[in-house]
Amino acid sequence: MMTAPSRPTLRGELRMNEPLKRYNSWRVGGPARQMYLPADAQDLADFLAALPADEPLLWLGLGSNLLIRDGGFRGTVILLQGQLSRLRIEDLDVHVEAGVACAKVARECARANLTGAAFLAGIPGTMGGALAMNAGAFGGETWSIVGAVTTLDRAGVVRERDPSDFQVAYREVVGPREEWFLACRLHLARGDAAAEQAAIRALLERRAATQPTGLPSCGSTFRNPPGDHAARLIEASGLKGYRIGGAEVSTKHANFLITTAQASAADVENLIAYVRAEVQRQQGVMLQTEVHMVGEPA
């Protein structure tokens, strides 16, 4: 099914030279040349259709798996955080727009006596980001519960797609080029609200006990290599607490890099590079990042 944009009048908000450190969980990075806050999906389709075909685009939710360099992003940022925030439940199907926080999805599903989405409470991002990287937590992965997705391309064309249109792997999703996620339909099972809410509380308690949740970080920085854990490899390399500038390897969880108010994106990027090099030197394993690095150096 395909629909083309039909209303040329834009209703969202366009901001120029917007500081991006406000919109990512490391709280670092330079400004966006321009940022658009869409009024709704149709407004976003109209906006994209009006952009030059070669305009660099960055889609931004909660910015929890993103490092924006100090020179900022010389293009257009589409802000989904606080936008595209509708969630609707129909029987066992949950229709979620890309800007809805994963934790909210987990809570609403539990309240509706649906089971299978509790793990989303451990993902510090939006559904759009979770779909883009097959985000997971506590043994669950996003695409295991996806029944269908809605995408949008540069021309403003909206498509309904089946999961079979995508190649999904651990923290990786490959699909049609230059299409972005607008929404998804999750398919869940009937469950018990009290039990599901208890499961969410247990997951959040476990997360708080094992991760530096009160400090600026992007969540897990590196992917777990097959048969091992990045945190174990980093800790075994003696890197807990290692610091470059305002960026530090967490002493609570070695796969989390945390920042101070004085940190720069360069500090974080340099620390990532140092950790990778040391783990490879000491453990013989080259870690791959979960975090995406975008933008220009200062």
Domain 2-79 has CATH 3.30.43.10: yes
Closest CA to 57 of 38, 36, 78, 29: 78
Question: Domain spans of the chain?
Answer: 2-79, 87-210, 230-294
Exactly one of 220, 237, 250, 264 is catalytic; name it: 220
Cα distance between residue 106 and residue 117, in whole Å: 5
The domain defined by 87-210 carries CATH number 3.30.465.10: yes
Domain 230-294: which CATH number of 3.10.20.30, 3.90.78.10, 3.30.1490.20, 1.20.120.530? 3.90.78.10
pLDDT tens per residue across all 298 residues of the chain: 444 444 468 899 999 999 999 999 999 999 999 999 999 999 999 999 999 999 999 999 999 989 999 999 999 999 998 899 999 999 999 999 999 999 999 999 999 999 999 999 989 899 999 999 999 988 899 999 999 999 999 999 999 999 999 999 999 999 999 999 999 999 999 988 888 888 888 888 988 899 998 899 998 999 999 999 999 999 999 999 999 999 999 999 999 999 999 999 999 999 999 999 999 999 999 999 999 999 999 8
171 as an active site residue: the answer is yes
What's the CA gap between 127 and 104, in Å, rounded? 10
Residue 13 is among the residues annotated as catalytic for this protein:
no
What CA–CA distances, in Å, run from 81 to 49, 72, 130, 150? 21, 18, 13, 18
Which listed residue (141, 179, 269, 290) is catalytic? 290
Closest CA to 45 of 14, 73, 18, 12: 12
Q: Of 33, 171, 207, 232, which one is the catalytic site residue?
A: 171
Residues 178 and 218: their CA atoms lie apart, in Å, by 25
3-state secondary structure of 275: helix
Instruction: Please say whether the beta carbons of 96 and 103 come within 8 A.
Output: no
Max Cα–Cα distance, the chain, nearest Å: 58
Ramachandran class of 179: left when φ > 0, alpha when ψ lies in -120 to 50, beta otherwise: beta
Judge whether 7 counts as a catalytic residue: no
